[in-house]
Structure formats: C-alpha cells, structure tokens
C-alpha cells in the first residue's frame, strides 16, 4: 500500500499543498481530480522525488520512504507519466522507451542498439501499442509522444504507476486502449493513479476517487458514489456553478450563441491547399462561424493547420477577407490576422522562461500593442489583466513565470495570447487539453465570443463533446483529405466517431 | 509504520540558506549586489586607499569599456547566444579609427569604426539567423577572420599619430567622472530602455526563451537575431574607439580578452546562458564586481599572476550560488 500523509509543499513561501493525505492500494485504480492549479501534479511530483523540500510522510508497503530524487522514487517502485512530457526529443522512440535501462553491449558503456530496438518494440506490443520505433520523438505528434511515455513507464514493471492527464491529448480510440491497459495493470496488482479532467471517464475507470481543491483533500470515496455531475460540483465548488448543469448532456441543446451557418461573409478561404503530396483541400469559413476539423490521430489535422499559416511549405492559396496572403509564413499570416494556437504548449507554444504578460502580449505586439516600435505598456497591462480575469488564470498575476503555472492555466495563457491579437481567422489545435471542466466552459465562452465578434474559427479537437458543443459545422479529415462537411447538428457522438473512423479504413 | 516526518520548517533551515533564499527571491542580481557591497565595505575598512575618489574614478575608468561590451553581450545572451568576436571587433575598430583619424579626421574615424563593428555584428547575426549556425561557431569564425585580416592589413604594426585632443575622450573627466563612464552610463540607459520599452526588446526575450513559440507567434525571428548581434557588434566597435582614446595607439593585438571578460561579467551578474532572461543591472553589477576584485588585489599588492585565478573563483562561486538557488526554487 502507498500512503502519503500530511504532505505539504510550498513554492517561494506560498504553500500549495496543505497537508494532503493520499492512499493507493495494490490493484486499485485511484482517480485524483481537481480544478486547474488544485495541486494534483505537485502532489505527484512529490511522489516522483522531484522535490526535496516537502514535508510529510510517504510509506510504501509499510516502509517509510525518503523520495528526494526521481531515481529513489523509481527504485521504490513508483513510475510517473508527467503531464508535460519528459522525453528526449532527438532520440528515437525505442531509445526513449529504454532510457535509463539500456541493455549493455560489448565494451565499456556500449549499448546494444539492435537488441534495444527489438526489446522496446516488444514492450510496446505487450500492451497492444504500435509506435514508429525509429522516428525521433521530436517528429511525433503529441498523441504518439503520450503513448511513448506510457510504454516507457509500463516497461519498468513498477508496483505503482501515476498517469498525469494521459488522455488530455488522446483520441477516443487510443483512450479506449489506454483504459484496457489500466484494467490489465490493476488486475496484475499494480496500483494506478489516474489524473484527468474528463469526469465521465473517471467515474467509469476508477475504483476510488480523491477530490483535491485548493491544495486540500475535499472528498475521498468509491467511484460508484459519484456521477460526472456531482464530481464536477465537488471539484469546482458548489456555489460557483449554481443550478446550471456543469456537464452538458452529450449531443445536448445547441449553444444559444451559435450563429447561423454561412450567415457572415467568407472570412477565411482555403483554395487547393496541398500538404506534401496529399490531395488538395478547400475550405471556406464565414465570419463568426466555428468549424470543427475532426479526424483520427494521424489524419493530418495538425499538418493541415501548419500548412495553412505557412509553417509548412505547400501549394495552394489562402485568402483572408478576400485578400490572398502572398508568401505565407507564420509572421505574414499573423500580420494578416490568421493565427494558429499550436497543440504543444511546451515545445512551440509558450515562452516558459517568460512571464505571463510576455506570453500574452507576444503576437499582439506586432499590431495594436505597440506604436512606432515602442510597447504600449499601460495598454498591455490592461489587456493582460483583463484576459487573466476573463480566462480565470490562477494566480492572476501578470509577472508570474509561465513555467510555474499549472498545466491547465498555462493552456489558458496560450489561448489568451491569440485572443489578445484580435485575429480575423484562427485555428485552435486542441485548445482545451488539460483544462478543467469549469475552465473548459469558460474557454468555450471565449471562443464563442471571439466568433461573435466576427472571427472565423477552426477548432481541432479529440474531444467529441467539445466539437459538437462548439462547432456550427464539422469537417472530417482522413489521410489529409476532407471527406465530409456537414452541420454539427446533424451529428451525435456516435455518428461523428463513426464518420471519423469509417474514413480511416477507406 | 514509523512516522519520520521530513520537515523543512523555517526553524530548522540554516540561517545562511534563509538569507540566500530571501535574496535570491528578488532575483540573482540583488544577491550579487549584496556580495559587491560586502566586498566594497571590507575594502573600505581594511584598505584606506580604496575609498579615495582617485581610486574609485580609476575603477570606473578601467571598467567602463568592458562594461559597454558586456551590455551588448547581455542582449546576445538573452537571445540565447553570445559573441566571441567582440575582442577582434574592438581591436579592428581601434586600428581602423586610428587610421581614419590620422588620414581623414576624427568624426569620420569614429563613425567608420562604429559602422565596421555594426557590419561584423550584423554578419554574425545573419549567419546565425539565416543559416541556423551555432553562435559559437559563427563568432569563433568571424573572430578569426577579422583578426587575421587585421594582422594582414597592419603587418601587426600598431598605428600611431592620433592627436592628443582625441585622448581626452578616453582619459578626460567631467566633474571628476571619467568621460568613458558617462558614455557607459548612457549605453546602460539605452539598453535598459530598449529592453523595457521597445517591441524589439520584448521580442529578444521571447526569441531567447522559445524560438519556435516566438516564430509561430508571428515574430520576425531572423530580423530580431540580426538586430541583436548588430547591436552587440556596434557596442564592441564603440568600445574599440574608446580603447583607442585611452591608449592613443591603434593596437591590433589589443582587446583579446574582451569576449570572455564580457561573458563572465554577464553570467556573474546572474544571467543564465540558456537565454530568455537577464537584466542590464546584471551586466553592470557583474562588470564592477570583477573590476573591484581585481582592484582590491592590486591595492593589496597581490601579484598579477594570481588575478586570473581569483577572477575564476569569483565566477565559479557567484554563478555557483546563483545556479544552486535556481535549482532549489525551480522544480519542473
Ligand atoms: N515550480 C513552481 N513554482 C511556483 N508555483 C508553482 C510551481 N509549480 C506549481 N506551482 C503552483 O502550484 C499550484 C498547483 O499546481 P499543480 O501543477 O499541482 O496544479 P494541477 O492540479 O496539476 O493543475 P492542472 O489541472 O492545471 O494541471 C498552482 O497554483 C501553481 O501555480
Ligand atoms: Mg497538473
């Protein structure tokens, strides 16, 4: 049994964990839920030996552990899949999986590369996961990176496994696969800690749920005592929600703010955009319209988005408000009012060493937040504070370093940057990855109000509910080809999933 | 299950750690300011000569030029790079200035030397930005090219004949303050204002922090890179002119230690080489910390052979403390 007792942890004099008790039994799937910044990741990092200055006791199977380095934690039989990946970008998948456990080769410090590749492939296969073993990790999409992390942790044969928001970036098919793996592990007696903001998954997958709010445990109990809705209330704090249902019923009533499809003039026009040998695509998005770009992982949604803003060299034309963008690159696109919010906030999204202010102002500095090469500091300050409040970023301090934010709050900052730039057209790639249920609704409100102000919005998401809830129209992409384009109202979860999967086979 | 509670309550934290943490929380440079203050204080108490204005003016005089170079270096370090060619550029510009001053005139000499610095800096930036070469390789290369060219052109002979009046710029004082120090102060203010108020300055932080994010966010990364290195080169050129004004001789072999001294000053000031962060105060404090240390050694009659060693230890200790704290505070 894994017991954490009275865990406290402070950053720079501010306590974020206020004496947390947490217990996991062998063979148990224990869900840890809480709002963004509640302290879930911090608690697990304590367990992972990342902090030397926590207080409290950790015992593993009766023995008191002093977990002050990741190695001590691993040796004690705990593996953690962190929310933000800890992969080596230039090593290939096989080597990342084997990292720290490389089979020795001949000679001193040699590595048997061939044996390693074979072993890593076998380890992935054991859990039914297929990965391109020889591809450097930096060239993988986030979903495959996530799977690499999972295989790496699973391969260690640990007795406790922590997964910090493993499904935040997985599509439905991979999620189902992950849940099978979790069940398999639990059967073998591994204690699994599962952190997620998908509360319906939580009640389905977990045996026990611990709710963390503002660094303290609010509730512990069997998962069967909860529904997604009661859990959401517990997690956000009852009073904040009122009577409004927190979790919209799947395929439920359309949002009131939704505009009529095609009501506005064409804002974003994509003509014969061809991504690397794939067939050309056409798409028109009207002012105020929200289009969901649906597709399985690997269907080419992210590449399409990068091609759109000129980050990948492509054929084809892109028009904003009828004006063609000449030589497209991310900068000229941004100037013309076409933005991409990238899916990977850590690698190419945020400037982690910079403050929240620096991150939010970044794109808008090129337009209305500077004049004559000088930054309009007072305006920046006002805009940033306003956005921090609107997005409910916690803590709402402009000068806090972005790397010190919790994952969900960092994601909000990334979207806030785009909002600050007042785009004419925007592509949001997985905009709510890792965002809690209350904040997700907030983010959706922000996206809708951006659309209401006339922005053409394209949303890429693996979250079916999100697409159906947010979009006016759904375009399904498979192998880089747009194979279906229909009003969102004509889909429900099942038919959308079917549309996405059917085409993958064809 | 014995409950051995691991605490790090204030009561059990050693005093020195609490002090350094408190200082560190306010940024590396206040810690450094503390060290500098302590050093100055102990010097004042033990070595009376140290506190005389003549000596203080001397310290200012001797360190202002490298301080100017350090300001440029700071920008390039924030951008995630650095420049090894500043010494070569300094020597080149002092020789060029001397030659043009002798043959054409003083203003033309100054302008030519500063522009030459700008050109080399811009070339450095272009190689880094457009070809994606590492700053180390690029600036090592230009350093060698510039220095080689300089020796070919001068046959390693110094250039004499700069008018007496010109050296007043390097050695003169206004109200007791060395003119070079006034120029240094002006450079500090300009760089400070650039980093704080200009869009370019904000972009420098963003590009240094995460190049990809800046690019996708719509920043013209090549232009920012070239601009940063051009400023670095310009300041090195200016420093070369001032060096000429101090010595009166255009010396091809001069300034060979500038690059490492300037980098040392910036990192001693608490700026990590990884980029994305840094303030002008760090470059100023770092410059004077190293300057005061060497002055103190001089005053106490320590052989000059010892000085590099002591400077080395200062770098290791100052940067060591800073990194140690960063590590403690950080955490993924
Ligand atoms: N290195 C750090 N320095 C300062 N504050 C930090 C640091 N890491 C986390 N925090 C703060 O601790 C609090 C808890 O963060 P944590 O990452 O544990 O949240 P979380 O529950 O995992 O949230 P999310 O769902 O968004 O991932 C947040 O307020 C965060 O800003
Ligand atoms: Mg987290």
Strands A281-286 and A208-213: unpaired
- The pLDDT assigned to A262 comes to 44
Quick check: CB of A438 below 6 Å from ligand 1? no
* Residue B30 banded pLDDT, cuts 50, 70, 90: low
- The pLDDT assigned to A106 comes to 55
- The pLDDT assigned to B116 comes to 97
Tell me which residue of B283, B259, B118 sits closest to B188, measured CA to CA: B283
Residue of chain B nearest A342, judged by CA positions: B216
- The pLDDT assigned to A107 comes to 55
- The pLDDT assigned to A220 comes to 93
Separation of alpha carbons B70 and B64, rounded Å = 10
Q: In terms of pLDDT, which residue wins out, B28 or B284? A: B284
Whether the Cβ atoms of residue A401 and residue A430 lie closer than 8 Å to each other: no
Separation of alpha carbons A301 and A407, rounded Å = 23
> Which of A80, A406, A410, A436 is the best mutation target for the ligand 1 pocket, counting ligand atoms within 8 Å of the beta carbon and taking the most?
A406
- The pLDDT assigned to A345 comes to 87
For ligand 1, what atom is nearest to the CA of residue A212? 21
Tell me which residue of B150, B106, B153, B161 sits closest to B254, measured CA to CA: B150
* Tokens found for residue A8: 């406290």
Q: Rounded to a whole number, what is the largest CA-CA distance in chain B?
A: 88
For ligand 1, what atom is nearest to the CA of residue A38? 21
Whether the Cβ atoms of residue A458 and residue A301 lie closer than 8 Å to each other: no
Quick check: CB of A173 below 6 Å from ligand 1? no
Q: In terms of pLDDT, which residue wins out, B37 or B258? A: B258
Instruction: Give residue for tokens 């014995």.
Output: B2
Q: Do B198 and A45 touch (CB under 8 A)?
A: no
Integer angstrom CA distances of residue A37 from A33, A40, A42, A236, A435: 11, 8, 9, 11, 10
* Tokens found for residue A272: 């014969």
Rg (CA), chain A: 23
Find residues 382-411 of chain A whose CB sits inside 8 Å of chain B.
403
The answer to whether residue B216 neighbours chain A at the CB level (below 8 Å) is yes
Phi, psi values for residue A50, rounded to 5°: -85, -20
pLDDT digits (tens, 9 = 90+) for A289-305: 999 999 887 788 888 99
Phi, psi values for residue B180, rounded to 5°: -60, -35
Digit-by-digit pLDDT tens for chain A (506 residues) are 999 999 999 987 789 999 999 999 999 999 999 998 899 999 999 999 999 889 999 999 888 988 888 888 988 999 998 887 778 888 889 988 988 877 765 555 666 778 888 888 888 888 888 888 888 988 887 778 888 988 888 888 889 999 998 888 787 878 888 898 899 889 989 999 999 988 888 998 999 999 999 899 999 999 999 988 888 888 877 555 444 444 443 333 334 444 444 457 889 999 989 887 778 889 999 999 999 999 887 788 888 999 999 998 888 899 999 999 988 999 999 999 999 999 888 888 999 999 999 999 999 999 999 999 999 999 999 999 999 999 989 889 999 999 999 888 999 999 999 999 999 999 999 998 888 888 888 889 999 999 999 999 999 998 888 999 999 999 998 887 888 899 999 998 888 888 887 654 44
First-last CA distance in chain B: 30
Alpha helices in A212-346 (DSSP H): 228-236, 238-241, 301-308, 330-335
The answer to whether residue B324 neighbours chain A at the CB level (below 8 Å) is no
* Residue B24 banded pLDDT, cuts 50, 70, 90: very low
Burial class (CB in 10 A: 0-12, 13-18, 19+), A243: exposed
Strands A281-286 and A266-274: antiparallel
- The pLDDT assigned to A238 comes to 59
Task: Look up residue A260 and give its DSSP letter.
Answer: P
Residue of chain A nearest B203, judged by CA positions: A362
- Burial readout A149-158 (b: 16 or more C-beta within 10 A, e: otherwise): bbbbbbbeeb
pLDDT digits (tens, 9 = 90+) for B43-102: 888 888 888 888 999 999 999 999 999 999 999 999 999 999 999 999 999 999 999 999
For residue A344, the CA-to-ligand 2 centroid distance in Å is: 15
- The pLDDT assigned to A6 comes to 95
Q: Do A353 and B202 touch (CB under 8 A)?
A: no
Alpha helices in chain B (DSSP H): 15-25, 28-46, 48-51, 53-78, 86-103, 106-131, 135-154, 164-171, 179-197, 199-209, 211-216, 221-247, 258-268, 280-299, 307-329
* Tokens found for residue B192: 């400070």
**Domains of chain B in sequence order:** 49-323 (1.10.3470)
pLDDT digits (tens, 9 = 90+) for A96-152: 898 887 776 555 566 677 888 888 888 888 888 888 888 898 888 777 888 898 888
Distance from CA of A348 to the nearest CA of B (A): 4
* Residue B202 banded pLDDT, cuts 50, 70, 90: very high
Whether the Cβ atoms of residue A37 and residue A394 lie closer than 8 Å to each other: yes
In percent, the amount of chain B with pLDDT more than 90 equals 65
Residue B11 has pLDDT above 70, yes or no: no
Distance from CA of B276 to the nearest CA of A (A): 6
* Tokens found for residue B301: 């009659």
pLDDT digits (tens, 9 = 90+) for A225-249: 998 888 888 887 755 544 444 444 3
Residues of B in contact with A370 (CB under 8 A): 199
Quick check: CB of A41 below 6 Å from ligand 1? yes
For ligand 1, what atom is nearest to the CA of residue A43? 18
* Tokens found for residue A230: 């009661």
First-last CA distance in chain A: 48
- The pLDDT assigned to B282 comes to 92
In percent, the amount of chain A with pLDDT more than 90 equals 47
> Which of A41, A214, A235, A439 is the best mutation target for the ligand 1 pocket, counting ligand atoms within 8 Å of the beta carbon and taking the most?
A41
Nearest to A5 among B3, B25, B203 (CB): B3
Task: Look up residue B11 and give its DSSP letter.
Answer: G
Instruction: Give residue for tokens 């053409």.
Output: A456
* Residue B283 banded pLDDT, cuts 50, 70, 90: very high
Burial class (CB in 10 A: 0-12, 13-18, 19+), A300: buried
For residue A72, the CA-to-ligand 1 centroid distance in Å is: 23
> Which of A16, A54, A399, A436 is the best mutation target for the ligand 1 pocket, counting ligand atoms within 8 Å of the beta carbon and taking the most?
A16
For an interface test with B, give the residue of A52, A72, A306, A365 to mutate (most B CBs within 10 A).
A365
Separation of alpha carbons A14 and A334, rounded Å = 38
The complex scores an ipTM of 0.84
For residue A220, the CA-to-ligand 1 centroid distance in Å is: 21
């Amino acid at each position: 049994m894994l017991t954490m007792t009275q865990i406290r942890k402070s950053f720079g004099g501010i306590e974020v964990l206020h004496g947390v008790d947490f217990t996991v039994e062998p063979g148990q799937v224990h869900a840890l839920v809480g709002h963004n910044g509640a302290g879930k990741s911090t608690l697990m990092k304590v367990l992972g030996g990342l902090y030397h200055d926590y207080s409290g006791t950790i015992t593993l199977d009766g023995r008191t552990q002093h977990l002050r380095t990741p190695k001590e934690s691993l040796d004690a039989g705990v593996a953690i899949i962190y929310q933000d990946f800890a992969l080596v970008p230039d090593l290939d998948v096989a080597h990342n999986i084997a990292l720290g456990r490389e089979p020795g080769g001949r000679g001193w410090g040699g590595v048997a590369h061939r044996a390693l590749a074979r072993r890593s492939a076998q380890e992935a296969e054991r859990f039914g996961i297929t990965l391109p073993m020889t591809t450097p990790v930096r060239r993988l999409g986030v979903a495959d990176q996530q799977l690499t992390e999972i295989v790496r942790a699973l391969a260690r044969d640990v007795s406790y496994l922590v997964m910090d928001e493993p499904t935040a970036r997985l599509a439905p098919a991979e999620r189902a696969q992950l849940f099978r793996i979790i069940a398999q592990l639990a059967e073998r007696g591994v204690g699994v800690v599962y952190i997620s903001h998908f509360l319906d998954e939580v009640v389905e997958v977990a045996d026990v749920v611990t709710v963390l709010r503002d660094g303290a445990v609010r509730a512990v109990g069997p998962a069967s005592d909860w529904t997604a809705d009661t859990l959401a209330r517990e997690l956000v704090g009852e009073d904040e929600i009122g009577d409004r249902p927190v979790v919209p019923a799947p395929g439920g009533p359309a949002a009131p703010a939704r505009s009529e499809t095609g009501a506005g003039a064409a804002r974003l026009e994509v003509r014969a955009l061809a991504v690397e040998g794939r067939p050309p695509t056409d798409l028109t998005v009207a002012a105020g319209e929200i289009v969901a770009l649906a597709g399985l992982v690997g269907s080419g949604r992210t590449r399409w988005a990068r091609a759109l803003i000129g980050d990948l060299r492509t054929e084809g034309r892109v028009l904003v408000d009828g004006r063609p963008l000449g030589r497209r690159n991310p900068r000229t696109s941004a100037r013309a009012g076409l933005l991409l919010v990238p899916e990977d906030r850590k690698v190419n999204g945020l400037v982690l060493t910079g403050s929240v202010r620096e991150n939010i102002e970044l794109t808008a500095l090129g337009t209305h937040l500077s004049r004559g090469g000088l930054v309009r500091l007072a305006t920046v300050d006002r805009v940033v504070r306003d956005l921090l409040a609107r997005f409910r970023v916690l803590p709402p301090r402009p000068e806090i370093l972005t790397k010190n934010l919790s994952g969900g709050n960092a994601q909000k900052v990334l979207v806030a940057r785009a909002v600050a730039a007042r785009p004419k057209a925007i592509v949001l790639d997985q905009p709510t990855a890792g965002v809690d249920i209350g904040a997700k609704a907030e983010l959706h409100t922000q996206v809708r109000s951006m659309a209401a102000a006339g922005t053409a919005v394209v949303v890429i998401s693996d979250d079916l509910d999100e697409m159906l809830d947010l979009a006016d129209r759904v375009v399904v992409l498979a192998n880089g080809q747009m194979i279906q384009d229909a009003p969102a109202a004509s889909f429900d979860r099942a038919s959308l999933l079917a549309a996405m999967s059917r085409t993958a086979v064809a | 299950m014995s409950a051995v509670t691991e605490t790090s309550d204030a009561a059990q934290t050693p005093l020195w750690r609490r002090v350094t943490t408190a200082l560190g929380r306010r940024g590396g440079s206040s810690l450094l300011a503390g060290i500098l203050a302590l050093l100055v204080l102990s010097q004042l108490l033990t070595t009376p000569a140290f506190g005389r204005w003549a000596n203080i003016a001397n310290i200012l005089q001797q360190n202002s030029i490298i301080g100017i170079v350090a300001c440029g270096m700071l920008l390039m370090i924030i951008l995630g790079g650095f420049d090894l060619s500043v010494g070569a550029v300094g020597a080149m510009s002092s020789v060029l200035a001397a030659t043009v001053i002798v043959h054409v005139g003083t203003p033309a000499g100054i302008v030519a030397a500063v522009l030459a610095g700008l050109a080399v800096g811009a070339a450095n930036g272009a190689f880094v930005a457009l070809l994606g070469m590492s700053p180390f390789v690029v600036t090592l290369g230009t350093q060698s090219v510039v220095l080689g060219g300089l020796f070919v052109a001068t046959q390693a002979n110094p250039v004499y004949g700069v008018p007496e009046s010109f050296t007043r710029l390097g050695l003169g004082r206004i109200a007791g303050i060395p003119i070079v120090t006034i120029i240094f102060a002006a450079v500090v203010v300009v760089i400070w204002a650039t980093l704080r108020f200009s869009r370019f300055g904000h972009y420098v932080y963003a590009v240094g922090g995460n190049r990809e994010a800046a690019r996708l966010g719509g920043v013209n990364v090549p232009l920012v890179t070239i601009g940063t290195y051009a400023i670095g080169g310009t300041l090195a050129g200016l420093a070369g002119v001032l060096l000429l004004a101090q010595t009166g001789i255009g010396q091809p072999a001069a300034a060979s230690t500038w690059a490492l001294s300037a980098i040392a000053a910036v990192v001693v000031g608490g700026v990590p080489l990884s980029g994305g962060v840094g303030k002008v105060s760090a470059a100023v404090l770092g410059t004077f910390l190293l300057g005061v240390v060497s002055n103190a050694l001089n005053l106490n009659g320590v052989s000059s052979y010892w000085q590099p060693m002591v400077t080395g230890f200062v770098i290791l200790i100052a940067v060591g403390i800073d990194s140690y704290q960063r590590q403690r505070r950080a955490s993924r």
